[in-house]
Amino acid sequence: MTEPRPSGRPKRAKKTLADGFLEAIRADFRAHGAGVIAEVRTEKPDQYLKIVLSVLPKDLHLNINSLEALSDDEIRQRIRGLEAVLRPFLEKSGVARPGLAKPGRDSEDRVSEPA
């Protein structure tokens, strides 16, 4: 009986090709990575978000209903904190609107006002 011929490349050749490709990617990232990431963030924020989400752990569990246990004041405080973190990015990208709540507003805090 004749032995069946293996199809495709030998495993060693595939591994060598994959290793070479990954090393080329590593070298390219070392040379240009931070600059490219910054460029994608500013010019293509939707793609940047996809990249960020793709590297998050798949088993990341978020408790979406955790807001139910918070008081209105605690929710407002969290919103203010998120706005403080996001404001520099939004202002830099030109997305920020005048209606965004400013720190220190009165008790009628609003995330945005009608246009």
What are the start-end ranges of the H helices in 1-115?
A: 11-43, 45-55, 72-93
First-residue to last-residue Cα distance in the chain: 81
CA–CA separation, 35 and 47 (whole Å): 15
Q: Could you tell me the two tokens for 39?
A: 């460029």
User: Tell me: the pLDDT tens digits for 59-97?
Assistant: 766 666 677 788 889 888 988 888 888 888 777 776 655
Q: pTM, whole model, 2 decimals? A: 0.37
CA–CA separation, 111 and 102 (whole Å): 9
On the question of pLDDT at 106 being above 50, the answer is: no
